């Protein structure tokens, strides 16, 4: 009787250990696929065009990159703005919190 109980206990413990190990494997693999922490840096850009219909402004950096962002009501073509450029997803860059730069 004691032998049967100890065998059953060993099997149950083995299955619990195996299940807990396999349960964490997908979580670990999913974390490896996610990008690292986004990096933010200040970038000065010039407003090249403003689309009154959509409310979007095209910004051109000194490096020649062009981005579209929602415009502020104070912006005019030719103004310079300071934006947070955030590297979010692989080669996709985003501008956030753009404000006039003087």
When divided into structural domains, the chain yields a total of 2
Tell me, yes or no, whether 45 and 95 share the same domain.
yes
Q: Is the pLDDT of residue 91 over 60?
A: no
State phi, psi for 72 to the nearest 5 degrees: -90, 155
Tell me, yes or no, whether 15 and 65 share the same domain.
no
Q: Is the pLDDT of residue 58 over 70?
A: yes
Tell me, yes or no, whether 60 and 92 share the same domain.
yes
Average pLDDT over residues 39-54: 91
**Domain limits for position 5:** 1-34
Query: Which domain CATH number covers 73?
Result: 2.40.50
Tell me, yes or no, whether 63 and 30 share the same domain.
no
Q: How high is the pLDDT of residue 41?
A: 83
For residues 18 and 50, what is the distance between their CA atoms, to the nearest angstrom? 60
Tell me, yes or no, whether 1 and 28 share the same domain.
yes
Tens digit of each residue's pLDDT (9 = 90 or more) over 15-45: 666 666 655 555 555 555 555 666 778 899 9
What confidence category does residue 10 fall into, taking pLDDT thresholds of 50, 70 and 90? confident
For residues 66 and 13, what is the distance between their CA atoms, to the nearest angstrom? 60
CA 71 distance to own-chain centroid: 22
Q: Is the pLDDT of residue 64 over 60?
A: yes
Tell me, yes or no, whether 85 and 51 share the same domain.
yes
Q: How high is the pLDDT of residue 49?
A: 96
Tell me, yes or no, whether 44 and 27 share the same domain.
no
């Amino acid at each position: 009787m004691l032998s049967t109980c100890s065998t059953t206990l060993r099997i149950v413990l083995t299955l619990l250990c195996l299940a807990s190990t396999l349960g964490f494997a997908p979580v670990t693999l999913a974390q490896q696929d996610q990008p690292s922490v986004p990096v933010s840096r200040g970038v000065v850009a010039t407003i090249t065009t403003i689309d009154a219909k959509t409310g979007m402004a095209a910004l051109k950096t000194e490096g020649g990159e062009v981005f579209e962002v929602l415009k502020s009501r104070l912006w005019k073509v030719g103004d310079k703005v300071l934006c947070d450029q955030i590297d979010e997803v692989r080669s996709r860059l985003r501008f956030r919190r753009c404000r006039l730069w003087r």
